């Protein structure tokens, strides 16, 4: 019997390196910051990838820019549209402005004010909808107006762009033995899985998600993405109802385990990062730190965590800091 054909990876090393080159002069090669207090607490070195230093305050610039930059100019000129609660929205708006094309963002009505303001600052058009309507409304606009849809995570070029983050970690810190990645739609996790596989790094990949939005764990148990009925969390960027089909195919065999954190854990992590390291990180961005701080994951060696974003309303941040 002939051997089954081996499918090439969706995102290989050459693709990741090309994405990294394409981000030069656009995204920041963010530092890995040692977290001394957390390192003492868990007994191993912990470093934080500071993606809140990106131009739009979050890692999403990597994937959005990569996908939009790779469009044929004539296609890109038609204009672009996406749906997002905030950080991907800002990234697409930023890229649209830089490329000089019309940009439409479909956002839930309850999106954080700071993220809505960020989108507006780049001149994008915003269509507000109920959270459960955003995917359909976005698709309808794309079809009706001939715009190019740049989804938040269900796109190979978006995944390649997000993978550059982990590629930087592996290049800068070859001693790292575990990487904790928070999960929204799974694009960041898929990018991490692609980078680890492409480089052959000996690194445990751990998914971190809110306990009431545990879609990665559900997908891994079921062997396919599962739609949650009503995911909730203080981390607004981590509550899509399911992980994407493409991201799941990339990360399904790479994730060592999926751990859940409570809203209280996330709030404590936001406060810890502010008090111990002087950092302003949004709840979604603090989730992987929360997993260590709350003991949801116990590392056996040097571990990297990702502060995926820092876009948080002043009142929300103040509430966490006072908590």
Cross-strand bridge partners of residue 34: 47
Residue closest to 141 by CA, chosen among 94, 82, 197, 90: 82
Catalytic residue, from 39, 49, 60, 262: name it: 60
Catalytic residue, from 84, 242, 284, 308: name it: 308
Residue closest to 129 by CA, chosen among 137, 118, 121, 140: 137
Count of CB atoms situated within 10 Å of the CB of 243: 31
Q: How far apart are CA 241 and CA 243, in angstroms?
A: 7
109 is catalytic: no
Q: How far apart are the first and last CA of the chain?
A: 63
Count of CB atoms situated within 10 Å of the CB of 215: 28
Catalytic residues: 60, 308
């Amino acid at each position: 019997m002939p051997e089954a054909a081996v499918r090439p990876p969706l995102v290989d090393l050459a693709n990741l390196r090309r994405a990294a080159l394409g981000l030069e002069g656009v995204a920041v090669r963010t530092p890995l910051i040692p977290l001394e207090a957390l390192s003492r607490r868990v007994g191993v070195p912990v470093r934080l990838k500071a993606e809140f230093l990106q131009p739009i305050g979050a890692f999403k610039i990597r994937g959005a820019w990569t996908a939009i930059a790779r469009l044929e100019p004539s296609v890109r000129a038609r204009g672009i549209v996406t749906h997002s609660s905030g950080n991907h929205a800002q990234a697409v708006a930023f890229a649209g402005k830089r490329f000089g094309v019309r940009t439409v963002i479909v956002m839930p009505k309850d999106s954080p004010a700071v993220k809505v303001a960020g989108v507006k600052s780049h001149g994008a058009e915003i269509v507000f909808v109920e959270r459960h309507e955003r995917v359909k409304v976005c698709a309808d606009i794309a079809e009706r107006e001939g715009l190019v849809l740049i989804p938040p995570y269900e796109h190979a070029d978006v995944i390649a762009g997000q993978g550059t983050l982990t590629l930087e970690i592996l290049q800068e810190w070859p001693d790292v033995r575990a990487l904790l990645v928070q999960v929204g739609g799974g694009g960041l996790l898929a990018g991490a899985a692609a980078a680890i596989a492409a480089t052959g790094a000996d690194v445990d990949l751990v998914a971190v998600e809110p306990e009431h939005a545990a879609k990665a764990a559900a997908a891994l148990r079921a062997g396919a993405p599962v739609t949650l009925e009503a995911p909730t969390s203080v981390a607004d960027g981590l509550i899509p109802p399911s992980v994407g089909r493409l991201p799941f195919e990339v990360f399904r065999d790479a994730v060592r385990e999926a751990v859940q954190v409570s809203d209280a854990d996330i709030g404590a992590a936001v406060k810890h990062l502010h008090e111990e390291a002087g950092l302003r990180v949004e709840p979604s961005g603090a989730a992987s730190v929360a997993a260590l701080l709350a003991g949801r994951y116990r590392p056996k060696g040097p571990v990297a965590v990702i502060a995926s974003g820092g876009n948080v309303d002043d009142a929300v941040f103040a509430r966490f800091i006072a908590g």
